[in-house]
Amino acid sequence: MSEQQPLMIRLLSASVAVANRAGAVIRDVLKSGQLGVVHKGYDDPQTEADRRAERCIVATLTTRFPHVTIIGEESIPPTAADLEAVVREDSPEVLREACPPDLTSVDEKDVVIWVDPLDGTGEFTKGFHEDVTVLVGIAVEGKPVAGVIHQPFYGTMAGLPTAQQGRTVWGMLGLGVRGIVPRPSPEHGGLRLAVSRSHYSGTVERVTECLQAKEKVIAGGAGNKILMVLENVVDAYIYPSPGTKRWDTCAGDAIVRAAGGAVTDVHGRDLVYDPVTPVPSTGDQSGFVQRCMNSQGVLVGMKGLEDLRAKIPEDVLRSLSK
């Protein structure tokens, strides 16, 4: 059945299935107690869960879609064992959908998949497990069109039944979003703003004050904070400096757009997801990572982003060069 569907439906279906499998891999590594932490650079840890989850995702998508460009944060090639354990299942929920007309004729060579196998690694190592997400973003000709965000530990703190398998949110332009329901807005009506826990700074504090946020939510993981916007836990998420990478934002960018919101840099421009050539995992990754940087910050919201941008201090905007 899946082979009869257009490429984009098949890609999204496979991405949902493999993101779920990657979540199971992450839970297994945590349960084992052997995180295998190494440090790629300052404040940039990598664990066995990152490595195994990325190999799982990349092995599956490269095997099933050999002409698609796939860029993973860890740049780790799959092993022979990974290739033998390719996820062949699809998401029945996605396969039931009709492909939006604008995406029925997409060619594999125009597709780039951005993978963050474990967004929020620092939080993972420090016990903030609910902040962790698996991110698979699908871009066509540099534009985000579909994405998957899987939360392996969703509901853990509340003891929800879903804590055993997490939750998966996915979306596609023209289809909308599945897996998440926005909460009612609070009565106070003031701005609720999500900011980074691991990269909190004086600039973030100052921007938050200038935006006159009534409520500031400090949380880990770009994917997690984007889910907060989608779920109406916060009104916006801002990262007013370089730091996030394309694999951090592509999945959420597509899903927010599918829900009718927007993801831009601090100047109001769309983020671009053109392919970037990775270097071998044994080589110096710094240049590759720099090319994948969202160098002019990130602003995410369902509405009112122009009003927020107008309140960002001029010197902050100038520091993020146009």
Q: Is 121 a catalytic residue?
A: yes
CB atoms within 10 A of CB 44: 12
Q: Is 118 annotated as a binding residue?
A: yes
Token readout for 279 is: 């270097």
pLDDT in tens, 19-41: 999 999 999 999 999 888 887 66
| CATH node for 2-89+103-178 | 3.30.540.10
Q: Is the pLDDT of residue 179 over 50?
A: yes
Q: Where are the domains of the chain?
A: 2-89+103-178, 192-319
Question: For the segment 202-244, what is each residue's pLDDT rounded down to a tens digit?
Answer: 788 899 899 999 999 999 999 999 999 999 999 999 999 888 9
What is the CATH T-level fold of the domain 192-319, as seen in this structure?
D-Maltodextrin-Binding Protein; domain 2 (3.40.190)
Question: Catalytic: which of 50, 82, 131, 235?
Answer: 50
Determine whether the annotation assigns residue 130 to a binding site.
no
Q: pLDDT tens digit string along 76-125?
A: 778 787 788 899 999 999 999 999 999 999 999 999 999 999 999 999 99
Contact between residue 81 and residue 51 where contact means Cβ atoms under 8 Å apart: no
Residue type for position 284: D
The residue annotated as part of the active site, out of 121, 168, 244, 264, is 121
* pLDDT value for 142: 96
| Residue 205 assigned to a binding site | no
pTM for the model = 0.93
Identical fold, 2-89+103-178 and 192-319: no
First to last CA, the chain: 47
Closest-CA residue to 110 (of 47, 68, 164, 169): 68
